[in-house]
Structure 1
Amino acid sequence: MRRLIEKGLMFGNLVEVSSPALVERYNRALKHLTGRTTALADFHVDISGYSPEIGDELGDDLYLNPNGCNRQFILLTTAQKSAPLLHAKFSTSRGILRQFIAANEPQLFALTARDAVAGELQNTVYELSNPARLFDIRRITIEADTIGGHVADAAKLAKLIERFRAEPDGWRDDVLVAEMLVLAQKTGDVTRVPVSLPAMGFEQPNFWTAHFGGIYIFRGVEHPAAITVAPPSALGPLPIAQVMGLTQRNHIADWLERNRLVESIVEARGVNTAALLRQKMDFILVDAAESLGLDLGQATRADLRGIARRLGSALPDEFRGLADLLRWVEAGGDWPRISSEHPAYFYTLRARSGPDRDLVNMLLSELSPLDIRQLFICHKEKFYADYARWSDVKRGYVADFLEREYKIDKAGARAALFGPEPAMDEAPRPAPRPAVPPQGLVDIVGPWGAVQRKGGRG
């Protein structure tokens, strides 16, 4: 992993904590939440305040996330909102923290100037003894305060001020006035600078969890389902209408289409389809070369074409399917009918725009794991696990590619691959599925819908 760290592809954008004052604040918060402290004089933290250095020191990567649910957090600065979330157990956790920080940024900026803010992503489930318990997680609530209790004290002071103003003889109540003065010394003038961090709630109908090998839960769609990495039979009964394993490709493809969650990269707007297909084909060749022990050379596109020629009839089916599609895009060849049974099928899809876009792209990255760029962007936990098993040559190629082609313009790369970011206030449910036109009016081509080619596509 050292190569990824050096290139900023792992533990990137973490916030450095090196001043004695911030380290002391962090230790107070850590003691408050966990009963433990760190002896480190400097370290880095993610959006939740988790530090990989402290995790290594304590021998516990979940020291802020006991049992993998109800993640606790420590905020030292609002700059943490742009940091990643490490060791994520739920796909929604980082987005919730980002929204919380963004919604309360002025208050958090003022509060973190004097103390650390600590809190928790609370749900009603405190242990996950079996997969069915995951379905009890429906709403996440955030409550936070400084370690010194400034928010609670400010709320108490505001009530005392209201009482002072309402009572005719309030100014004569020495106990009331004294209590107000003591609180005001801690909170400041709350009449001019209110201090408030109201509890925020977030609905969680659709999410991925790392628990039980990895499960995708979709409840906020027209046809609810759970998709599991482990065989469904190994998880026991689940309280949802449809349960599918990742190997059930036909069922997953049909379900994605019925819920209108995906679109073909050929039909998607704003996509350089030919360039995208060529890059996916390169990734597949790199994997094939590694599997067969072939020399990757410098892994240039010319080197990869040479590997393709050497493989000949042994080229992977994924490569052949995408090559047929590229031929149609560039040269107007026959339209390739790539069914959901074909190994290349999920490489030809991306998520439709909407609130579940990132979650669906995460699922697609598991169904098309040789596309290492999409895997890195959409599912870093799986990417790092796969990276650890690759040969050093493939690791070098992948790290160099991501540094060269992705890191320099992350936002641009994401927009080019997946379209514009979904708005935070988009409706949680996708639009109803439109009726399929009568057969004969258009040529229905499987789950991609109607394709009418006039003079080819580019």
Structure 2
Amino acid sequence: MKRLIEKGLMFGNLVPVESPALVERYNRALKALSGKETRLADFHIDISGYSPEVGDELGDHLYLNANGCNRQFILLTTDQKTAPLLNAKFSTSRGILARFIAENEAQLFTLTARDAVAGELENTVYDLESPARLFDIRRITVTADTTGNHVAEGQKLAGLIDRFRSEEDGWWDDVLIAEMIGLADKTGDVTRNPVALKSTTFDQGNFWTAHFGGLYIFRDVEHPAAIAVGRKEALGALPIKYVFDLEDRNQIAKFLEINDLVEPIVNARGADAAAILRQKMDFIVVAAAASLRLEIGHGARRDLRQAASAIGARLPEEFHGLAALLRWVETGGPWPRITSAHPAYFYTLRAKAHADRDLVNMLLSELSPLDVRQLFICHKELFYDLYRSWPEAKKAYVADYLEREYQIDKAGAREALFGPEPGMHEPGPWSRSGAPESRKPDILDIVGPWGAVRKERR
């Protein structure tokens, strides 16, 4: 992992905490949240205030997320809004924190100028003793205040000012005036500089969680379903009609299609399909060569072509499926029949531009793990887990490639792969047969969205 850290591919873009004043504020907040303190003179923090160095010191990397479902946070600066979220247990957590900071940036800038802001992403679930409890999480409320309670006292002072203005005897109420003066010494002039925080409640509809081996929950779609990373039988009874796991490729393909969540790369607006397919094929060659202990030189495309020739028939089916699709794109050859049963199927898709685009691309990266670029961008936790087990040659190639091709223009790479940010409608569903399709089949109205899968339900 040292190679990734040195190249800025792991623990990158963290916020440094170096001054004694910031360390002191961090300790006050940490003490208030967990009863712990750090003796480090400097460290780095993510968007939630979690520090890998402090986690090592305390021997607890979940010191701000003990129960895994109500993440605590420490804000020292609004610059944290661009930092990553490490050890994420829910796919929505970073987005909620970033939006909270962005929509309260002026207030938080004022508050963090003199104190740390500590808080929590609260929901009504405080333990996850069973997977079914995940479905009780529907709304996240952000509670936050400084360690000196400036927000609470500012709201109290605002209430007292309203009383002073509305009550007839307010001018002669010495107790009220004295209390206002005392609070104003701490909060400042709340009439000109209000410290109330807004946008503190966020709905949690569709999301991924790391709990129970990994689980994708899609309930705010026309045809809801849950998709388990592990065996679905291990989850027990869930309050949702359809439950799949990653072995249910046909059902997952149908789920993505009928909910209009994905599109084929070859039909995607503005995408250079040939370049994307070639790069996916390169990654597959690297993986195959590394497993066979074959040299790939400097990893240039010429070196990889030679490696592909040397591997020959031992290349995996994913490579052959993408090669057939590339021939169709570049030469107008016969349309390749790539069904959902084919190992290359999910490599040919990307999420459409909708609110859950990142979540769907995250799921697709689970289903196409040899595409290491998409895996790194969409599912870093899984990328790091898999990276540890890769041969050294593959580690070196992937780290060098990501540093060279992705780090220099992250936004451009994301747009080239996944399209612009959600907001436009992208036409053209994708058929289980592997060919473009113009409309959804009417059979849905007769047997339901996944057909015979109902008969298999226990």
* 2:140 alignment partner, SS class: strand
Which residue is 1:330 aligned to? 330
Q: Deviations over 1:71-107 (max 9, x none)?
A: 0000000000000000000000000001100110000
* 1:191 alignment partner, SS class: coil
Which residue is 1:179 aligned to? 179
Which residue is 2:11 aligned to? 11
Stretch deviating more after TM superposition (31-40 or 198-207) = 198-207
Residue 316 (str. 1) matches residue 316 (str. 2): yes
Residue 90 (str. 1) matches residue 90 (str. 2): yes
Decide whether aligned partners of structure 1 residues 407 and 178 sit closer, same or farther in structure 2, where only a CA change above 3 A counts. Answer: same
Structure 2 counterpart of 1:277, which letter?
Answer: L
Task: Say whether the 8 Å CA contact 1:286–1:394 is kept in structure 2.
Answer: yes
Q: Once the 2 structures are TM-superposed, how far is the Cα of residue 165 of structure 1 from its aligned partner? A: 1.7
Question: How do 1:7-406 residues align onto structure 2 when only pairs under 5 Å count?
Answer: 7-198=7-198, 200-406=200-406
Stretch deviating more after TM superposition (67-76 or 199-208) = 199-208
For structure 2, the 5+ residue unaligned runs are: 439-458
Structure 2 counterpart of 1:225, which letter?
Answer: A
Task: Say whether the 8 Å CA contact 1:145–1:197 is kept in structure 2.
Answer: no
Residue 446 (str. 1) matches residue 433 (str. 2): yes
Which residue is 1:456 aligned to? none
Decide whether aligned partners of structure 1 residues 445 and 16 sit closer, same or farther in structure 2, where only a CA change above 3 A counts. Answer: closer
Q: Once the 2 structures are TM-superposed, how far is the Cα of residue 216 of structure 1 from its aligned partner? A: 0.2
Structure 2 counterpart of 1:24, which letter?
Answer: E
Task: Say whether the 8 Å CA contact 1:81–1:97 is kept in structure 2.
Answer: yes
Decide whether aligned partners of structure 1 residues 191 and 307 sit closer, same or farther in structure 2, where only a CA change above 3 A counts. Answer: same
* 1:48 alignment partner, SS class: coil
Q: Deviations over 1:187-244 (max 9, x none)?
A: 1111111111146111111000000110000000001000001111111111101000
Stretch deviating more after TM superposition (20-29 or 303-312) = 303-312
Decide whether aligned partners of structure 1 residues 116 and 444 sit closer, same or farther in structure 2, where only a CA change above 3 A counts. Answer: closer
Decide whether aligned partners of structure 1 residues 293 and 390 sit closer, same or farther in structure 2, where only a CA change above 3 A counts. Answer: same
Structure 1 counterpart of 2:341, which letter?
Answer: E
- TM normalised by structure 1 equals 0.93
Q: Once the 2 structures are TM-superposed, how far is the Cα of residue 315 of structure 1 from its aligned partner? A: 1.6
Structure 2 counterpart of 1:138, which letter?
Answer: R
- TM normalised by structure 2 equals 0.93
Task: Say whether the 8 Å CA contact 2:121–2:142 is kept in structure 1.
Answer: yes
* 2:405 alignment partner, SS class: helix
**What is the distance in 1 between the residues matched to 2:385 and 2:414?**
22
Task: Say whether the 8 Å CA contact 2:221–2:259 is kept in structure 1.
Answer: yes
Report how many aligned residue pairs link the two structures: 438
Task: Say whether the 8 Å CA contact 1:121–1:142 is kept in structure 2.
Answer: yes
Task: Say whether the 8 Å CA contact 1:284–1:371 is kept in structure 2.
Answer: yes
Task: Say whether the 8 Å CA contact 2:257–2:431 is kept in structure 1.
Answer: no
* 1:67 alignment partner, SS class: coil
Structure 2 counterpart of 1:19, which letter?
Answer: S
Decide whether aligned partners of structure 1 residues 371 and 313 sit closer, same or farther in structure 2, where only a CA change above 3 A counts. Answer: same
**What is the distance in 2 between the residues matched to 1:93 and 1:69?**
10
Which residue is 2:444 aligned to? none
Q: Deviations over 1:322-376 (max 9, x none)?
A: 0001111111111101011111000000001000000000000000000000000
* 1:369 alignment partner, SS class: coil
**What is the distance in 2 between the residues matched to 1:86 and 1:361?**
19
Structure 2 counterpart of 1:263, which letter?
Answer: E
* 1:22 alignment partner, SS class: helix
* 1:266 alignment partner, SS class: helix
Q: Once the 2 structures are TM-superposed, how far is the Cα of residue 297 of structure 1 from its aligned partner? A: 2.0
Structure 1 ranges of 4+ moved more than 6 A? none
Q: Once the 2 structures are TM-superposed, how far is the Cα of residue 378 of structure 1 from its aligned partner? A: 0.1
For structure 1, the 5+ residue unaligned runs are: 437-442, 452-458
Q: Once the 2 structures are TM-superposed, how far is the Cα of residue 447 of structure 1 from its aligned partner? A: 5.0
Task: Say whether the 8 Å CA contact 1:29–1:147 is kept in structure 2.
Answer: yes
Task: Say whether the 8 Å CA contact 1:263–1:448 is kept in structure 2.
Answer: no
Structure 1 counterpart of 2:191, which letter?
Answer: T
Structure 2 counterpart of 1:239, which letter?
Answer: P
Structure 1 counterpart of 2:37, which letter?
Answer: T
Q: Deviations over 1:254-295 (max 9, x none)?
A: 111011100000000111111111100000001101111212
Task: Say whether the 8 Å CA contact 1:143–1:198 is kept in structure 2.
Answer: no
**What is the distance in 1 between the residues matched to 2:101 and 2:167?**
37
**What is the distance in 1 between the residues matched to 2:226 and 2:236?**
13
Q: Taking every aligned residue pair, what percent have the same amino acid on both sides?
A: 70
Q: Deviations over 1:137-180 (max 9, x none)?
A: 11111111111000111111111111112223322222111111
* 1:74 alignment partner, SS class: strand
Q: Once the 2 structures are TM-superposed, how far is the Cα of residue 448 of structure 1 from its aligned partner? A: 4.3
* 1:88 alignment partner, SS class: coil
Structure 2 counterpart of 1:30, which letter?
Answer: L
Q: What CA RMSD, in Å, does the superposition of the two structures yield over aligned residues?
A: 1.7
**What is the distance in 1 between the residues matched to 2:206 and 2:413?**
25
Structure 2 counterpart of 1:351, which letter?
Answer: A
Decide whether aligned partners of structure 1 residues 361 and 295 sit closer, same or farther in structure 2, where only a CA change above 3 A counts. Answer: same
Which residue is 1:454 aligned to? none
